[in-house]
Amino acid sequence: MSDTSQILVDTATRLFEETFTPRQLALAETGRWLGTEWQAVEDMGLPLALVPEEAGGFGLPVEEALNLIRLAGAFAVPLPLAETMLANRILASAGLELPGGPVTLAPVRADDRPTLERRDGGWLLSGTAQRVPWGRAAAIMVLAEHDGRTLVALVPAGQAEVTPDINLAYEPRDTLRFETVLPAERVAPSPGVAAADLRRLGAALRCLAMAGALGRILEMTTAYANERSQFGRPIGKFQAIQQHLAVLAGQAAAARAAGDIAAEAVAQGASALPIAAAKVRCGEAAGIAAAIAHQVHGAMGFTHEHSLHFLTKRLWSWRDEFGGEGEWSRLIGREVAQAGADGLWPLVTAA
Amino acid sequence: MDLIDFPPPPAQDVEALRAEVRAFLAEELATRRPQDRARSWSGFDADFSRKVGARGWIGMTWPKRYGGHERSALERYVVLEEMLAAGAPVAAHWFADRQSGPLLLKVGSEEQRRTLLPRMAAGECCFCIGMSEPDSGSDLAAVRTRAVPVEGGFVVNGTKLWTTYAHHAHFMILFCRTGGAEERHGGTSQFLVDLKTPGITIRPIADLAGEHHFNEVVFEDAFLPSSALLGQLGDGWNQVVGELAFERSGPERFLSSFTLLVELVRALGPNPSEQAAVAAGRLTAHLLVLRRLSRSVAGMLQNGENPALQAALVKDLGAIFEQEIPDIARQLVDAEPSQRSTRDFSAVLAHTILNVPSFSLRGGTREILRGIIARGLGLR
Ligand SMILES: Cc1cc2nc3c(=O)[nH]c(=O)nc-3n(C[C@H](O)[C@H](O)[C@H](O)COP(=O)(O)OP(=O)(O)OC[C@H]3O[C@@H](n4cnc5c(N)ncnc54)[C@H](O)[C@@H]3O)c2cc1C
């Protein structure tokens, strides 16, 4: 890792650790926007981590910048940091001015297709986007179709009609209806990113967040097994618990490697196969690991007071966001079938 | 957590080598049937191993002065994984290349290295691993086979069990007791045993499919010269633990059922059902991630690190993957398994079903590996 990246990771770790206490996480669950906390994150420049240097970013290697998302996952950061990082990158690549503040992205679902038409010297954006992360609280980077082309549009916060919804962790996942005229300078040709790519990039972001959360869950669960005593000794001394934790470690390791695969794929142009594989693997790890973590934590881990659920509820949500294991497995399966039996191994080594 | 931090595999362009290996295998294995490929690294063919040696693909990372080729761990990895993916019969050189050679390099005497390593690298010298015994499986420190010092060497008595390909091997690396039983770890040593030594009897053991690969090896007053001692007297435990790291990290720990995955894809054809596409895609995703983990461990070995814990994690995950392939495959294709079937899928499925139980036993059982991981987590 470069020095800049290391410093960024270290300072972000400190900030997240101090800021996102169980109290703040519980507050975020009530639907409160953590404005002060966002400001602290923004003051540190994190939303610009994926933005190229010439557009005002840090110019970090993409894989290194993406470490921040793993870190945010580990601390269950209840803010659209990942979304803003990616949206800013696309906006900057399209030559649009970055709005500052939180930015989210749309569409995130395969069946939503907003469109743009010319109107009054600007553009009319219309259509619907469902389950947009923090749609109610952020500006929105929209990929929309016009005349068979993909354009990038920036919708300022508050200009879409919002039907609020949430994921299992009470993170906003809102339905947005667009019927808004945007000035010409808020719209530009897409820098080679189509709606399908956005879904892939989003999947990669969730992989990294899941990898981070799984690493943290492993730490928490191991610590708990060493602290909690029954029958006169720490439960971690029981072989059954040790074997559970070893499985949890295996899943966390697999997710970590899958996250790295996804990050490298993003850096190299976001090809489908590695990201799909990473999302499948992280999603599966999430389910297995969360189940073990809860088993080892006993009833205490089932309470709202204990902070395990801030991570497990996110894992159970993130594994289905930007496509679950079924969707991405199917995509890989179709590609494998097309490659044929003798093409399978070459496909694997080339991915 | 360090335990789950797998650094990216070293970046090196190995595609020319990969193409070379593929071309070699395409020619050499042109007539090898899928059910034979399914034997994976248990397939034994001394001629094939000699050809691989002639290509410079055994002992690739060893020093040239011992017949090695001073290539990188990643280059070696490419050769291994291409061999396994193609179902090449590698067993005649596998153990020497994977663990006996590296062990000799680490602790062997100069004479042992000079006489044996070049023959191993040429694919002419086959090794077997003498660790397990009737009363010592997972509890390796409980070995009872004993070497007693005598004039000019040692006399060995005891029984080794499950010794894979002892009946073809030239040498065994013997792990046995040289001190008191109460010493447990301290009283053990390793020996380089020429299997032609008088007093050694090798008896076949059939596996559940009736096949012969492993053996019982009985030592009755077998005399070993002093020069057979490998490493330090009494240092056997440390040496054997180091050896196990080589044994657990490679691509053979997740590719044992790969031929079945290939035949599954063939049987499903270009337009699989929804359910079949999902299942095949999921397995492929697992494969990509396992390969990444395993290559990362290869990189750590290359950097001189000791990734014993990471290797245990990869082997545990790899065995789950290898073992679930037949269960998934049989649900997607309408075919009953049969070793005699002329249908490739059925024959490969049969072979795989009959062999998967061993995948989470050999090289350390699932429970033992998980115990090692738990220790790494600080629970024991
Ligand atoms: C195909 C094959 C090839 C082999 N080739 C070789 C070879 O070439 N050379 C060689 O030396 N050995 C070889 N082995 C032996 C292999 O190393 C042993 O099978 C393995 O170490 C387990 O020993 P065991 O079979 O005696 O089982 P045991 O140790 O008796 O174990 C039986 C069961 O008890 C469990 N168990 C044991 N101890 C514990 C514990 N402390 N905690 C929890 N569970 C425990 C095990 O996990 C397992 O489930 C081979 C085995 C197979 C199957």
Residue B185: predicted pLDDT: 78
Below-70 pLDDT ranges, chain B: 1, 181
Point out the residue among A331, A335, A349 whose CB comes nearest to the CB of B18.
A349
Given an 8 Å threshold on Cβ–Cβ distance, is B293 in contact with A341? Answer: no
Given an 8 Å threshold on Cβ–Cβ distance, is A329 in contact with B289? Answer: no
Backbone region of residue B206 per phi and psi (left: phi > 0; alpha: psi in -120 to 50; beta: other values): beta
At B81, give phi and psi (nearest 5°). -70, -35
- Does the Cβ of B141 fall within 6 Å of ligand 1? no
Whole-number Å distance, alpha carbon B379 to ligand 1 midpoint, is: 23
Residue A249: predicted pLDDT: 98
pLDDT of residue A134 exceeding 70, the answer is yes
Residue with tokens 């540190």: A44
Q: What is the pLDDT of residues B8-17, one digit of tens each?
A: 998 889 999 9
Residue A136: predicted pLDDT: 97
Cα distance between residue B32 and residue B90, in whole Å? 13
What is the ipTM score, two decimals?
A: 0.96
Residue A198: predicted pLDDT: 95
Does residue A241 belong to the interface with chain B, where contact is any CB pair within 8 Å? yes
Residues of A in contact with B86 (CB under 8 A): 345
Task: Using a pLDDT cut of 90, give the percent of chain A over it.
Answer: 93
SS3 of B363, please? coil
Residue B249: predicted pLDDT: 73
Average pLDDT of chain A, as a whole number: 96
Strand partners, A296: none
Does residue A249 belong to the interface with chain B, where contact is any CB pair within 8 Å? yes
Given an 8 Å threshold on Cβ–Cβ distance, is B4 in contact with A253? Answer: yes
Which residues have a Cβ under 8 Å from the Cβ of B143 and sit 6 or more positions away?
Answer: B131, B133, B136, B158, B175, B176, B177, B188
Q: What is the pLDDT of residues A194-205, one digit of tens each?
A: 988 999 999 999
Contacts 24+ apart (CB under 8 A), B180-187: B181/B144, B184/B141, B185/B141, B185/B237, B186/B234, B186/B237, B187/B234
Prediction pTM value? 0.96
Residue to test with chain B: of A222, A239, A344, A347, most B Cβ within 10 A: A344
Q: What is the pLDDT of residues B99-116, one digit of tens each?
A: 999 999 999 999 999 999
pLDDT of residue A81 exceeding 80, the answer is yes
Q: What is the pLDDT of residues B295-338, one digit of tens each?
A: 999 899 888 888 889 999 999 999 999 999 999 999 999 999 99
Point out the residue among B85, B268, B313 whose CB comes nearest to the CB of A345.
B85
Instruction: For B6, name the nearest residue in chain A, comparing CA atoms only.
Output: A257
Residue B1: predicted pLDDT: 55
Q: Is the dihedral of CA A71, B8, A215, A225 positive or negative?
A: negative
Residue A245: band (very low, low, confident or very high) from pLDDT cuts 50, 70, 90: very high
Lowest mean pLDDT among A56-60, A178-182, A190-194: A56-60
Q: What is the DSSP letter of A172?
A: B
Ligand 1: residue of B167, B361, B379 to mutate (most ligand atoms within 8 A of CB) is B361
Point out the residue among B8, B268, B317 whose CB comes nearest to the CB of A337.
B268
Q: What is the pLDDT of residues A313-343, one digit of tens each?
A: 999 999 999 999 999 999 999 999 999 999 9
Residue B179: predicted pLDDT: 87
Q: Judging by beta carbons within 10 Å of its beta carbon (0-12, 13-18, 19+), is residue A14 exposed, middle or buried?
A: exposed
- Does the Cβ of B176 fall within 6 Å of ligand 1? no
Q: What is the pLDDT of residues A252-293, one digit of tens each?
A: 999 999 999 999 999 998 889 999 999 999 999 999 999 999
Whole-number Å distance, alpha carbon B362 to ligand 1 midpoint, is: 6
Given an 8 Å threshold on Cβ–Cβ distance, is A261 in contact with B292? Answer: yes
- Does the Cβ of B220 fall within 6 Å of ligand 1? no
- The number of the ligand 1 atom at minimal distance from the alpha carbon of B367 is 47
Whole-number Å distance, alpha carbon A155 to ligand 1 midpoint, is: 63
Q: What is the pLDDT of residues B264-303, one digit of tens each?
A: 999 999 999 999 999 999 999 999 999 999 999 989 988 8
Residue B248: predicted pLDDT: 80
Residue B3: predicted pLDDT: 84
pLDDT of residue A35 exceeding 80, the answer is yes
- Does the Cβ of B214 fall within 6 Å of ligand 1? yes
Point out the residue among A225, A249, A256 whose CB comes nearest to the CB of B373.
A249
Does residue A47 belong to the interface with chain B, where contact is any CB pair within 8 Å? no
Given an 8 Å threshold on Cβ–Cβ distance, is A239 in contact with B371? Answer: yes
Residue A348: predicted pLDDT: 97
* Distance of residue B186 Cα from the nearest chain A Cα, in angstroms: 26
Residue A2: predicted pLDDT: 81
